[in-house]
Structure 1
Amino acid sequence: MRLSISPRLELFCLLLLTALLVGAGIGLRQPANVDEERFLGVALEMLQNGDWFIPHRAGEIYPDKPPLFMWMVALFTSITGLPRVALFLPALLAGLVATACLYDLGTRLWSRRIGVIASLLFLATYQTYSILRAGQIDGFLCLWIVLGLYGMVRHLLLGPAWGWFYLACAAMGFGIISKGVGFLPILMLIPYAYAARKGWSGVVRMPGQGRAWLLGLVVALAAIAVWLLPLVLTVVLHGDEASRAYVNEILLRQTAQRYASAWAHQEPFWYFFAKVIPKYWLPLVLALPWLIPAWRRQLLKHDGRVLVLLGWVVLVLLFFTLSSGKRKLYIYPALPGLVLVIAPLVPWLLRRWFAQRPLGRKIFTGLAVFWFVAWFARGFLEPIKEGANPHQSLMAEAAALTQGSDLVLTNWREGHWLFARQPIVHFGMGAPGQIYKAVEWLKGHPQASALIPAGELARCFNPEKARKIGDTSREEWFLVGADADNGQCHDSTAFKSYRFAWKTSPF
């Protein structure tokens, strides 16, 4: 069956569908979890303090992630003037680029029909909505992973195309300074090398090109240097102990050490296969009983396209499985490669399932349309159902009751800082003994108040002199002054405090 519309119109329709599905509800959504609150806050603090190479969180260095995602959020905030919109635009951009790249690769490797199917499979997968609708790094990481995948495929399977290979290397470099695993597309070289050596069809052999391959490493390092070089120069020339500790944390502890010996999100080796893939890769996993034998037959025919793409998906899964630290979003980078290797089998699957069952085909079409419509509707219904972030009303009431004086935070979350309407004082995110430090700080600043969680209140303060001002998902919060001190808590050790205030409230 010949397609009746032009490729440009076809791609435009797919991009419009992506914008509708991924962008549904933007403007209604606001930061709804600690990750979104943190990344938006860091981006806004960059805009306020002008420190672009070392991220800060309420005046304290934030050492967990490189800054590229926060740069993008800050850029979109400057363009739109709407932080609650800007937070979600990097992932929307990634979704649009992924759709276009998958369409183009499917078309070049197989046909326009397969390109359309690859894009639709990507948009139909549950994990796409779980990640691309969130204001988190992993949605933005998808942009660099897809560009890396695109450049590698154009070179290894459709090349030689060294320009596209260097684009892939640059994308991996930018991916690394978004989140350390941005190098994942390079793993495609492993199945490619095997296929090229064994003479499999569908791969391009490029002997005697050692210098050209090594230039890709130079390109990747140049992309990383966009952030790393100014950071190192700043720390060497003007750095203090805290900035030097940041370099060690971000380059070593949060990368290799975190992978080799994770201290959070520890899960067994079977976690992705038992708890993530069966749910988050719906509806793709429903076809696995037919896909696995079909892939085996294609591999027996020495189809290098299947070996390179499917081999890369397996290597990505293996990479994350070998680490003890696992989260459901970690394996999302494998999804574009997976849909690309599934797409050419979909016409065969539909014929196998429905050739003699026209009613079944109509039901399948109806379910597919319903699936997309439901995800579009959920984009608007979900933020309405969730309502306003509870930290917003909590901090507004705190500012009103204290008349905007300094507010000490203890056991705080990023939402307290993001939605603060007054100067805040804290002693470091996650620092021990915060309640004792708050008591000592209030003694020297009797005009200030402190925000204390219910579980800590009676330890150091008289509950009858405290005022409950609200709840969040984790705690009830009480406002106290220096007069509420019950005399039971003392901290004679020296401690560091941070004071921070938004020049203009983000919300």
Structure 2
Amino acid sequence: MKQHVTSPTLPLESPRILWTLAISFLCIWFYMLGARTLVPTDEGRYAEMAREMLATGDWITLRLNGIKYFEKPPLQNWMNALTFAVFGVGDWQARLWTGLCGLIGVAAVGYTGRQIFSARVGSIAAIVLGSSFYWAGMGHVNSLDMGLSGMLAITMCGLLLGQHQSGSEKFRRNAMLACWIGMALATMSKGLIGFVLPGAVLVIYTLITRDWALWSRLQFGKGVLLFFAITAPWFILIAIRNPEHPHFFFIHEHIQRFTSDVHKREGAWYYFFPLLVLGIVPWMGLLVQGLWTGIKEKSPGFQPLKLLLIWSVFFFFFFSISHSKLPGYILPIFPALALMIAVYLEKCLPKALKIASALFGALGMIGLIFSLSLLFKIVQLSKNPYEIPLYDHYAPWVAVASCIVIAGSLIAWFYANKGKSGKDFSIIVLAAAGFLAGQIAFLGHDPYGKYIAGTAHIAAIKAELKTPETPIYAVGRYEQALPFYLQRTMTLVEFPDELAFGLEQQPELWIPKRDDFVRQWLMHEQKGEPAVAILRTDVYQDLQQRQLPMRLIGQDPKRVIIATTR
């Protein structure tokens, strides 16, 4: 009797393997949310804004350090404040929303790849995005970039699913409505780019492909109503309560930010190129090939890979020509890149995976050489004696991460040409090595992060806060993380920093001149009142020369902390 032989299930088609990978990934992902101190500026800023929102009960007017702060919309602050209300105030709670947004992006590209291309492409896309250095890293940073990118991933994937002809009419309609919801939430995350950039992508796509029928499938009427139902209430309410908001938000924070150097964040035209190459690790050896899948797509009807290509290129171009540049700005392109790379990986020859593994291993060798040069004092990253031990502490972490990269690249290279099963195993090993190495590198940075945040001084400062009314002054500098950890706002002195606009509206909330601070401090001394001040180092030297009565309670190269003597 002839027996039926069942072919073995490939690793990327095995539910057991995929579930094991997913659960392991999620355990590490959620653990890392609370494994590090919040690092200024973004992490401390947005954690503190949410804490103040919850403490004051004002969910409309955004504030930082008790001062009106109108640079961005409120979605992330709302979500962080809700997290604090449910789980308490802490590090992982402050990162929970961005962590979830990162996972939303991974799930969105996985589901979209499965629906449009194949189940294997969906799995590979999720693996590529989840293991990409930049996406996995920024998913553990409390900044607006991941919140925006997660919502734009919903927008992009909703558009792809809504235009793909394989689904039912109801499915496509719901997908397009999800696209509109994603644009609305992206707008509530970081402003007008939430709908302007996806809209521009759509226009460019139709001009290139001549697919004018696409516009009839956008669910425009329902979508616009849904968009404004989500976005309009807050914009109306904040304008009613704060008439100065619309001009600052729409003109200063959008038009002037893009067309001028008002924020002093200019950069060269090639600013984002190295960030793109580093950000897509461990898949940098497949980046060009992934983009090529979009270039060569010429199928009739809707062309999803073409849209993904335009999405990536236009976002990258837009932020490259902007006069305001920060590293996180290009984060929204990574879901599109992950899908294109996944499509290429599904069909590529073993040679392509070997090249990608070799490039990944070369990066690991560079990292290992760099870490060893730090360990053996061949190079020194800082001349500051205080910082040298911090870099020395970081070097072994970089060495371990580099060794994982090298080992992963060698294993992936070896298995790349071992048939379909070996190819799947090679993809899994590359992803695992890239993800683990990135998280280890982030974890090792924590001592330096604590130094930047100033958390070593928290106990000394708290010991001086005799009453809830004990003032804390920030003279010549503004601490972005300490207010959150102390759960106290500070009175700024002579240095408004990014709060200049808010202080124009509320000048009573700060002390513009150092001499006025000195008089205020002497008044505390005369009355025997406790007070604390965090000073820039040159300000401390000036106050010493003035023989201001003060007691040193903490010091490092970035700050000096004093208290009244009584």
* 1:320/1:326 contact within 8 Å kept: yes
1:459 — aligned with what? 542
Instruction: Give, in angstroms, the shift of residue 377 of structure 1.
Output: 4.3
Instruction: Name the amino acid aligned to 2:194.
Output: G
SS at match of 1:53: coil
Q: Which residue of 1 aligns with 2:491?
A: 425
Alpha-carbon distance in 1 for matches of 2:338, 2:94: 27
User: Of the candidates 83, 91, 107, which is equivalent to residue 84 of structure 1?
Assistant: 91
Q: After TM superposition, list the pairs within 5 Å mapping 1:174-185 onto structure 2.
A: 174-180=185-191, 181-183=193-195, 184-185=197-198
Describe the SS at the equivalent of 2:348: helix
**Residues 415 and 196 of structure 1: is their aligned pair in 2 closer, same or farther, counting only changes over 3 Å?**
closer
Would the alpha carbon gap of residues 111 and 367 (structure 1) be closer, same or farther in structure 2, given more than 3 Å must change?
Answer: closer
Deviates more, 1:325-334 or 1:298-307: 298-307
Bigger shift: 367-376 or 22-31? 367-376
**Is contact 1:259–1:323 with CA below 8 Å preserved after alignment?**
yes
- Cα distance in 1 for partners of 2:462, 2:216 equals 68
Tell me which of 11, 32, 35 is aligned to 1:28: 35
Q: Tell me if the contact between 1:166 and 1:216 (Cα under 8 Å) persists in the aligned partners.
A: yes
Q: Aligned letter for 1:69?
A: Q
* 1:190 and 2:255 matched: no
Match of 2:179 in 1: 168
Tell me the CA shift for residue 44 of structure 1.
0.7
List per-residue Cα deviations over 1:1-54 (Å, max 9, x = no partner). 866898987775564344234323233323122211111111011111111111
Q: In the alignment, what sits opposite 2:278? A: 279
| 1:322 equivalent in alignment to 2:321 | yes
Give CA deviations for 1:242-290 in whole Å, capped at 9, x if unaligned. Answer: x3333432232112221222422101222112x3112222233322454
Structure 1: state its 5+ residue gaps.
Answer: 200-204, 236-242, 484-507
Is the counterpart of residue 437 in structure 1 residue 503 in structure 2?
no
Q: What is the CA distance between 1:364 and its match in structure 2?
A: 4.7
Give, in whole Å, the separation in 1 of the partners of 2:207 and 2:44: 45
Q: In the TM superposition, what is the alpha-carbon distance from 1:176 to its structure 2 partner?
A: 0.9
After TM superposition, what 4+ stretches of structure 1 lie above 6 angstroms from structure 2?
4-11, 300-303
Q: Aligned in 2, Cα 1:214/1:466: closer, same or farther, shift over 3 Å?
A: same
1:8–1:463 CA distance, 2 compared to 1 (3 A): farther
Counterpart mapping for 1:388-407 below 5 A:
391-401=454-464, 403-404=466-467, 405-407=470-472
Query: What's 1:470 paired with?
Result: 554
Quote how far apart the aligned CAs of 1:370 are.
Answer: 2.7
Larger helix proportion, structure 1 or 2? 2
Superposed CA deviations along residues 324-348 of structure 1, whole A, max 9, x for unmatched, are: 1111110110110111122111133
Once the two structures are superposed, residues 463-490 of structure 1 have per-residue CA deviations (whole angstroms, 9 ceiling, x without a partner) of 7644333245x6230415499xxxxxxx
Deviation per CA, 1:62-86: give whole Å up to 9, x if none.
Answer: 2222111011011111111242221
Shift of 1:303: 7.7
How high is the TM-score relative to the length of structure 2? Answer: 0.73
Give the 3 Å change call, closer, same or farther, for CA 307–127 of structure 1 in structure 2. Answer: same
The DSSP-based 3-state class of the residue aligned with 1:87 is: helix
CA contact (8 A) 1:268 1:324 kept: no
1:2-41 aligned within 5 A:
12-13=19-20, 15-41=22-48
In structure 1, distance between residues paired with 2:257 and 2:486: 32
Rounded to whole Å, the distance in 2 between the matches of 1:10 and 1:185 is 36
Give the conservation status (yes or no) of the 8 Å contact 2:74–2:189: yes
Matched AA of 1:407: I
Tell whether the 8 Å contact from 1:316 to 1:331 is kept in structure 2 after alignment.
Answer: yes
Q: Which amino acid aligns with 1:394?
A: H
Selected match of 1:117 from 124, 134, 147: 124
Tell me the equivalent position of 2:562. 479
Classify the secondary structure of the residue corresponding to 1:244: coil
Q: 1:56 aligns with which of 51, 56, 63?
A: 63
1:498 maps to which residue? none
Q: 1:132-147 counterparts in 2 under 5 A?
A: 132-147=139-154
Q: Deviations over 1:114-157 (max 9, x none)?
A: 11111111012111122111111112222211111121111123
Match of residue 73 from structure 2: 66
Q: Which residue of 1 aligns with 2:506?
A: none
Q: Name which of 474, 479, 490 aligns with 1:409.
A: 474
1:185 and 1:471, CA in 2 relative to 1: closer, same or farther beyond 3 A? farther
Judge conservation of contact 2:293–2:340 (CA < 8 Å) in 1: no
SS in 1 for 2:42: helix
SS in 1 for 2:317: helix
User: For the residues of structure 1 that align with 2:313 and 2:157, how far apart are their CA atoms?
Assistant: 18
- Aligned residues, how many? 467
Residue matched to 2:232: 225
* Aligned twin of 1:370: 433
One-letter amino acid of the counterpart of residue 469, structure 1:
I
2:158–2:176: 8 Å Cα contact kept in structure 1? yes
The 2-side partners of 1:207 and 1:287 are apart by 33
Contact (CA 8 Å) 1:61, 1:246: kept in 2 or not? no
Q: Structure 1 residues 247, 29: CA separation in 2 closer, same or farther (over 3 Å shift)?
A: same
Q: Equivalents in 2 of 1:409, 1:385: separation in Å?
A: 22
Identity of aligned residues (%): 20
Aligned partner of 1:493 in structure 2 is none
- Closer/same/farther in 2, CA of residues 371 and 63 from structure 1, 3 Å limit: same
Provide the secondary structure at the position in 1 that maps to 2:491.
Answer: strand
Counterpart check, 1:344 vs 2:427: no
Check 1:425–1:349 CA distance in 2 against 1; reply closer, same or farther (3 A cut): same
C-alpha distance in 1, partners of 2:415/2:441?
28
Q: Quick one: which amino acid aligns to residue 472 of structure 2?
A: L
Amino acid at match of 2:276: I
Q: Give the secondary structure class of the aligned counterpart of 1:177.
A: helix
Instruction: Determine if contact 1:40/1:87 at 8 Å carries over to the other structure.
Output: yes
Structure 1 CA distance, aligned partners of 2:523 and 2:552?
Answer: 24
1:421 offset after TM fit, Å?
A: 6.7
Please report the RMSD computed on the Cα atoms of aligned residues, expressed in angstroms: 3.4
In 1, the alpha carbon distance for the partners of 2:490 and 2:551 equals 18
Q: Which runs of structure 2 are paired with 1:205-244 in the superposition (5 Å)?
A: 205-206=213-214, 212-233=219-240, 235=241, 243-244=242-243
Shift of the 350–338 alpha-carbon distance from structure 1 to 2, 3 Å rule, reads same
- Aligned AA (1:175): A
CA distance in 2, matches of 1:304, 1:294: 11
Listed one character per residue, the Cα deviations across residues 58-117 of structure 1 (whole Å, up to 9, x for unaligned) are 221122221110110111111112422211111221122222211111111111111111
Tell which deviates more after alignment, 378-387 or 48-57: 378-387
1:221/1:18 CA distance change after superposition, 3 Å: farther
2:248 is aligned to 249
CA contact (8 A) 2:132 2:279 kept: yes
SS of match in other structure, 1:469: strand
Contact 2:98/2:147 (<8 A) preserved: yes
Q: Distance in 1 between matches of 2:208 and 2:14?
A: 31
Cα pair distance change 1:295/1:463, threshold 3 Å:
same
Note if contact 2:105-2:150 (Cα within 8 Å) is conserved in structure 1. Answer: yes
5+ long unaligned stretches in structure 2: 1-6, 355-412, 501-510
